[in-house]
Structure 1
Amino acid sequence: MAPLHAAPPPPSACSSSPAAGPAFLARPHHHHRRAVAASCCSPAVTAAAAPSRKAFLSCPDHSPGRALAPPRVTPSSSPALVASVKDLYDFICSGPLVDRIGYTKEKVAESIDRWLRCGSQIARLFRLNELQLSEAEKVRIYHFYIPVFLWCEDQVTEHRAKYKEGDDIPPLVIGVSAPQGSGKTTLVFTLDYLFRVAGRNSTTLSIDDFYLTAKEQNELRDRNPGNALLELRGNAGSHDLQFSVETLESLTKLTKEGMKMKVPRYDKSAFGGRGDRADPSVWPDVEGPLEVILFEGWMLGFKPLPNEVVKAVDPQLEVVNKNLEAYYNAWDRFIESWIVIKIREPNCVFQWRLQVITRLSKQVRCRIHDNYGLQFLKFLLVFLQAEIAMRADGKPGMSDEEVMDFVSRYLPAYHAYLPTLYKEGPNGSKPEQLLVIDIDEGRNPLWGS
């Protein structure tokens, strides 16, 4: 999956959205210690939603000058909105990730304002009417994106608590491992946005940023004649590991204000879609102090296996498996907290990839003259960029068969390495720092298997 290159639009850019948000979502921003505000909830709400008398907590936002919702009015003046809060509370508690992120019904009730605030922000980000969300939109926001963000926030808080006041605190690196097309990139985009709204300086990085240059990829292909898995970018061996280590080490040292560095980007449209590293002149700047690095990739956390195991899947995997031995020291050792998106059938990747291409090409046509749409597309044009642009212009692009051929070069690795990843977790991961999210064919979270 390609990285999310641009910074998310600031909240002010979203405030003109038609879905401006109901009055009950507003809350003064707090210092990140989550100072408790005075409770203004009516007895009807507390009785219905079963929270304690403790004040509700907002989604953290301690950056200055942010006005994300209109002034608050008390729920007692809006009975219809009170009912909707109760309904939403019940819906949140029915989600499959609530238990997995360590939330009880009581904890959801105590933090309901935080869920509402985050829901309002996500709705604005994607230009949805938060009062008229479809069932699918409610599931994606309140059963998926917000629970994962709250888990990440807790991970960041615990990470920073390990250091003393005055220490240089390195950013927490959160690894997001998921197959192509599974919704990983949109999830990372949303998490990055919510972190920034919360006042945390975050950045995103993809394993795609470290692909070999076009020249080096051609040399890799020539050294492995006839091996379809190394003919194009993607599998272990097609990344510049030394370059990735240098980049990650530099990013984790961005602990002070004024520190800055450029991060690499990869141009997938170069050389007719074969790709090449983008020119450094277009690499974005990242400034310190960083608190969070969201590092995503389709093969993050894969572990090398006994040779006979990979040969049984595909003999071409032998070289890939040997290459994979170096990847732990290059990537996984930097990652402290892990999100693993678990799929039930790797062949879903075919259909997801085709769906994303079709959807994005439509979005290009629909939003290209929309200022918000231009920012939106910077995040969502995540792979096969030349292909999407051709389809958007009405030109013949890669056929479905060609897309399937492209994806098929990844499938042997999925079949070989995903079972171990799901059974054992990534290298070095700890249970309390690992969130596994089972998803269905619609890319929505399931109850754990």
Structure 2
Amino acid sequence: MLAYGRCTFSRSLVGCLQQLSRAEDLTLSCLNERRRFSTGRPGIVQWVGQCSSSPVAQIVQRSAARRGNVSRSRKLTMSAKAFAGTDELAAYISEGPLNSLAGITPESVTKNIDEWQELGGFIASNLKFGSTDKLDAAQRQRIFHLYLPVFFWIRGQLERHRSRRSADNKSPLMLGMSAPQGCGKTTLVEQLEALFEHTGGKAAVFSMDDCYLTRADQEQLAKDFPDNGLFQVRGNAGTHDLPLGKKTLLELQNAGTSGTEVRIPKYDKAAHSGKGDRKDPADWTVVKGPVDVVLFEGWMFGFRELPAHDAFKANKDLAEVNARLRHYVNAWDTFMDSWLVLKVADPQWVYGWREQAEQSRRAEGSGMSEPEVKDFVSRYMPAYLAYLPSLYARGPTTAQPGRLLTIAVDRDRSLAPVQPKKVK
């Protein structure tokens, strides 16, 4: 026997590994799982991490270096296998608070555990968390209790969408996402887009923010309503170019076949000293079909119009915003097949989230001051206070049973300990 730190290896094991490492089919995940299954002890990959000076570690490292052309997905599978034993990982995933909402069962987790492992490693690499055996509790939760359950739920929605449409209809799943600013929406969308690409699909991302009025049109709106503070800056209903958004959504809805091409508008929030302006069409994002899923997101997406007297009572400036809100339903909301909502217990958290973002920008020589942040967010707060209760209680305007997932996040942008019940 050869002893190295806490680990002891038989000479025969080292010899076998030396022979295997010279071949081109050394599969660490197989070694890891075979040992775990037969002994119930940590697999070889965990041992390597504990005994970096051992001959096993050196053999594995030399083999990995020599096999630098291994595909990305295979490398990720190796790191994912090191997270824990398969049974341990399946048990952890099965405890996820979103599972009942997303239709994920312990049986489905066990059946597809290899995919969970591989995709978990992919996300960990994307977010630069390192290998999955190095994840802290928060990172582990984000990957296996949030990002992947949402991805699998959307994929299930896509499968049902395809089963409902006719054979000659190749339209992608149109998914609406409503979430307050700063709650982690952008990172979630980025991971969903990457996951679809990684698994052979394609997701197109489109934001309501990219449909803001041009600078000239926004200035004209402010002049038309000089006493309405909610129209002096971009953000609320009435400050978007509805025809532009509708045209883009229609083109994306028809981008399910090869050869299609859609130009998605882009908005430069830094233009005009932070007042913003639409980018030149030459700088817009070009999406080529076939597209499987369209992720259309916004902070006020799916808000329901209030009775006029309720809107005025909530905030006098909100009355005109409320009147404009009704036009969003036919222009944008009706395109959505399914909806995803990120729920926050207190919209006041947006102040802190925005300040965190601006602190980073200030460190780089730009960004709003703290008083400017408070003023900026205050223009959104009347709408949050007026419309979020209905959004959380009834769902977005065009949500249908079985096609809505609402997720509660806490002040740290992590999953809240108690998740909402399904909206009937």
Shorter chain as denominator, the TM-score bin is 0.7 to 0.9
Partner of 1:118: 119
Partner of 1:211: 212
Partner of 2:162: 160
3-state SS in 2 of match to 1:193: helix
Report the CA distance between 1:316 and its aligned residue. Answer: 0.5
Letter of the 2:194 partner, please give it: Y
CA distance in 1, matches of 2:394, 2:204: 28
Q: 1:71 to 1:345 in 2, by over 3 A?
A: closer
Partner of 1:423: 393
3-state SS in 2 of match to 1:324: helix
Identity %: 41
List alignment gaps of at least 5 residues for structure 1. Answer: 1-21, 27-38, 47-64, 362-387
3-state SS in 1 of match to 2:102: coil
Letter of the 1:439 partner, please give it: V
Q: 1:155 to 1:313 in 2, by over 3 A?
A: same
Q: 1:132 to 1:329 in 2, by over 3 A?
A: same
Report the CA distance between 1:160 and its aligned residue. Answer: 1.2
The answer as to whether partners of 1:25 and 1:72 remain within 8 angstroms in 2 is no
CA distance in 1, matches of 2:261, 2:201: 16
Residue-by-residue CA offset, 1:375-411 (whole Å, 9 max, x unaligned): xxxxxxxxxxxxx2xx243x36421121111011000
3-state SS in 1 of match to 2:248: helix
List alignment gaps of at least 5 residues for structure 2. Answer: 1-26, 41-69
Match status 1:439 vs 2:409: yes
The answer as to whether partners of 2:265 and 2:279 remain within 8 angstroms in 1 is yes
Of residues 196-205 and 349-358 in structure 1, the stretch that sits farther from structure 2 once superposed is: 349-358
Partner of 2:323: 322
Report the CA distance between 1:242 and its aligned residue. Answer: 1.0
Q: Counterparts in 2 of 1:9-24, with a 5 A limit?
A: 23-24=28-29
Q: Larger Rg: 1 or 2?
A: 2
The answer as to whether partners of 2:151 and 2:195 remain within 8 angstroms in 1 is yes
Letter of the 1:408 partner, please give it: S
The answer as to whether partners of 2:344 and 2:409 remain within 8 angstroms in 1 is yes
CA distance in 1, matches of 2:39, 2:238: 57
CA distance in 1, matches of 2:83, 2:180: 40
CA distance in 2, matches of 1:267, 1:83: 44
Match status 1:287 vs 2:288: yes
TM-score by length of 1: 0.76
Q: Counterparts in 2 of 1:76-155, with a 5 A limit?
A: 81=82, 83-129=84-130, 130-155=132-157
CA distance in 2, matches of 1:174, 1:322: 25
Partner of 2:21: none
Report the CA distance between 1:66 and its aligned residue. Answer: 5.8
Q: 1:343 to 1:83 in 2, by over 3 A?
A: closer
Q: Counterparts in 2 of 1:262-411, with a 5 A limit?
A: 262-358=263-359, 361=360, 388=361, 391-393=362-364, 395=365, 397-411=367-381
3-state SS in 2 of match to 1:325: helix
Q: Which has the higher contact order (CA 8 A, sep 6+)?
A: 1
Residue-by-residue CA offset, 1:157-189 (whole Å, 9 max, x unaligned): 111122344x13111111110000011111111
Q: 1:169 to 1:422 in 2, by over 3 A?
A: same
Match status 1:185 vs 2:186: yes
The answer as to whether partners of 1:23 and 1:71 remain within 8 angstroms in 2 is no
The answer as to whether partners of 2:119 and 2:195 remain within 8 angstroms in 1 is yes
CA distance in 1, matches of 2:333, 2:203: 19
Q: 1:270 to 1:118 in 2, by over 3 A?
A: same
Q: 1:413 to 1:44 in 2, by over 3 A?
A: farther
**More helix per residue: 1 or 2?**
2
Report the CA distance between 1:89 and its aligned residue. Answer: 2.0
Letter of the 1:24 partner, please give it: S
The answer as to whether partners of 2:302 and 2:398 remain within 8 angstroms in 1 is no
Question: In the comparison of the two structures, how many residue pairs are matched?
Answer: 362
Q: 1:317 to 1:174 in 2, by over 3 A?
A: same
CA distance in 1, matches of 2:37, 2:185: 40
CA distance in 2, matches of 1:315, 1:66: 59
Partner of 1:60: none
